[in-house]
Amino acid sequence: MSAFAQQLICWHKQHGRHGLPWQGSRDPYAVWLSEIMLQQTQVSSVIPYYRRFLGSFPDIAALAAAEGDEVLAHWSGLGYYSRARNLHRAAQIMAEQHAGEFPREFEHIQALPGIGRSTAAAISAFAFGARRAILDGNVKRVLARYLAVAGYPGEKKVEDLLWRHAEALLPENGIEIYTQALMDLGATLCKRGKPECASCPVSADCIARQQGRQGVFPQPRPRKSLPEKATTMLLFMRQGEIFLEKRPPAGIWGGLWSFPESDGTEDAQRQGEMRFGFESGPPEPAPVMRHVFTHFRLHIQPLLINVRRIRPGARQQDGVWLTVDDAMEVAIPTPVRKLLAGLGRPERKGLS
């Protein structure tokens, strides 16, 4: 066993995380769910979602049989909604092609929607004890510092080198503890901003620390200015209810419920009348909201619009009227949730 692996395993016994709700289980379904939720999301944010999701969908069969809206509603607020759609589709594939069982073969696991090489390796290690290397964001940072690997880990040649290092450091035994220890080290000590090297079990052999260059590794993503986009959200309100429409299944917030949108080039009242048959008062602008995605910034101009009358026979396809409280329970994007929370404040009651 490498000194790196041995030191990590010994450290984890005393200092690692042991009380997380998904730990101690060999149920591949529970392991898979936790690994997907933890992608680009902090543990503290995941825990309540994990418990609620597992309570409603306790196994593959329950998740496969669920309605898509129900799955997205349980994910609402956690972000990166493609993860929820992939979970749902993967459960359906397992029900159809694997007799409702989670596959043990690494290649079959990796073939499921939303599961890449590192996630498949983590599931294989924790659920089946398979000797597989992981390489998530935290692990890339640990190995880049420990071995002073130059370059941005998102570049293929750098990532390939890190994969080779990750595989070379694997212990022959104790793969579950080692894998968890590696994750914990990156999450609790070898942090991006201020690594706690004095407490690190492998700091004596860490090349970045020896050179005093912890802040150099890993090289950050090359800076690019994010494109700026803008939209107008139409908050139609009537008799204490708010109007939401379902977004197309593909694209940003696919399949979620949201406010109707406009590019701002047409009159909001006219759009409401033409699209939904709403006769309304003049729109009231609310403060612009900024929402940052991975690849662009979105500036949202909310318009509060009081609907006075709905034309007889008008149809609101893919639309629904809900109270603010009920709307908060369905699958909605984070900006919509924030706007609804604002509508629920006492000073906004008169607008509904």
Which residues are catalytic, by number?
35
10 Å Cβ neighbour count for 151?
15
CA distance 141 to 147: 10
DSSP string, 249-304: SSSTTTT-EE--EE-SSS-HHHHHHHHH-EEE---EE---EEEE-SS-EEEEEEEE
Query: Are 60 and 95 contacting, i.e. CB atoms less than 8 angstroms apart?
Result: yes
- Report the distance separating Cα 144 and Cα 219, nearest Å: 9
**Token output for 88:** 């749902």
Kindly calculate the radius of gyration of the chain based on its CA atoms and give it in whole angstroms. 24
Residue 289 pairs with which residues in a beta bridge? 300
The residue ranges of DSSP E strands in 51-191, in sequence order, are none
